[in-house]
Every structure is written in structure tokens, then in C-alpha cells.
Structure 1
Amino acid sequence: MKTLLQIVLTGLIVLILSNILGGVYVADFFTAIVVAAILALLNIFIKPILLILTLPVTVVTFGLFLLAINAFIILMADWLIEAFRVDGFWWAVLFSILLSFFQSIVFALAQRKR
């Protein structure tokens, strides 16, 4: 139940960010939920592999390369979902930063309510 709530909240954040950012497009709320679910799956299965493969670069850049990894995950979701579009790498980086920021705020507030 907790995971389902997190996916719905992330979908809402994705929809809001797509309305704010000019380079990110989501067709509707259902697509935003699908984007949230796909991002969760990519973060579970693909991101750890990318982290291990790029560990030397991540260490040399003091962790800043993680922004590129997150942007790549967003671009993979763009490639997988037809009704979700990100116009480029830098829009993906900005979307990733804002998504992480708002997720941390919303999830902290949801934990506090319990």
C-alpha cells in the first residue's frame, strides 16, 4: 500500500512538473502514474547496474555524475513511454533534480501524517 501511494504521489508530482517545465510533456494523469511506475522500476533494476559501472567517474566527480545517471534514467523512461517526452538531456537533469526535491518533501509530509 505504501508503494502504491508513493507511485500515485510521484505521478502527481510528474504531472505538476510537466505543466511547469517547458521541455517535459505528459499526456494525462494516467500517463504520469505510468511514468512514476516505470521510473520506480528503472531505479530498482537499472540504476544499481549503472552505479556500479560508473563508480570511478562518480568518485572522481564527487558524486555529480549521479545527476547524469538520473537524467539517463529519465531519458530511458521517455524512450519507453510514448505519451511522455523530455526535450533533451538538460531538461532531464532539471526534471530529475526537481522531482527528487519535491518527492523528498511530499514523502516526508506523508510520513509525518502517520
Structure 2
Amino acid sequence: MKHFLVTWIGTAIALIITANVVPGFFIKSFVAALVAAIVIGLVNAIVRPILGILAFPVTLITFGLFSFVLNAIALMIASALTPASYGFIINGFGAAFLGSIVLSIVSSIINYFLRVIE
């Protein structure tokens, strides 16, 4: 349970950092980041595997580079599923694409340091 909470908070912090770096990627508050982190986790657990199976031929042909596009699509789905009142908004595919790359890097770094502290 502790690991889940640490990962959840780390992802929320990574979302806030990503929103400050990527234009078109908006997080209103820390509560919005926490809600968005839950929605992103659910999308990655439920929708992303289906997308991965459907897009496997394209991913294979592009030597895995299409997975960046799948990450961006999953992030856009998570933004669409998050209630607008929370303030997690992604304006366009370009922001989702760049945001997914930055979010992956930042959350990996943050979660690495949070696991070292545990």
C-alpha cells in the first residue's frame, strides 16, 4: 500500500512538472494532478493493452517507435475522461505526444528517487 501511495504522489508531481514544461498541457492544482494520475493509471491498465494489441503490427514495423504515439493517445484519453472541473487539459496531439515523453522521463526520475528514500 505504501508503494502505491508513493508512486501515486510521484506521478502527480511529475504531471505538475510536465505541465510547467510542455505548452498545451495544463494541470490546475495538485488535487487535479492526483485525480489525473489515477485516471492515467486506469487508462494504462485497461485501454493501453487493447491499443497495444491492435497496433502491434505497426509497432513492429516501426521498431517500437509507434509506442510513443500509443502513449500520447492514452494520455489524450485520460485527459478526456478526467472531469473538466478538475483542470487536467491537453490541447492537441502535439502536446500529448511531447507531454507523454516528458512525463515518462520525469516520473521515472521521481519514482527512482522516491524508491531510494523508502
- Fold match, TM over 0.5? yes
Q: Which amino acid is the alignment partner of residue 76 of structure 2?
A: L
* 1:16 paired residue number: 17
* Structure 1 range deviating more: 11-20 or 51-60: 11-20
Superposition TM-score, scaled by structure 1 size: 0.94
Q: 1:60 offset after TM fit, Å?
A: 0.2
Query: 1:25-70: CA deviations, max 9, x gaps?
Result: 1111100111111101111111111111111000001001101110
Superposition TM-score, scaled by structure 2 size: 0.91
Give the count of matched residue pairs. 114
Higher relative contact order (CA 8 A, sep 6+): 2
Where does structure 1 lack aligned partners over 5 or more consecutive residues?
A: none
* 2:104 paired residue number: 100
Q: 1:21 offset after TM fit, Å?
A: 2.0
The percent identity for this pair of structures is 34
Give the root-mean-square deviation of aligned CA atoms: 1.1
Pairing partner for 2:88 from 66, 84, 87: 84
* 1:30 paired residue number: 31
Q: Which amino acid is the alignment partner of residue 92 of structure 1?
A: A
* 2:63 paired residue number: 62
**CA–CA distance in 2 between the matches of 1:113 and 1:94?**
29
**CA–CA distance in 1 between the matches of 2:117 and 2:88?**
31
- Runs of 4+ aligned residues of structure 1 deviating over 6 Å after TM superposition are none
* Structure 1 range deviating more: 86-95 or 15-24: 15-24
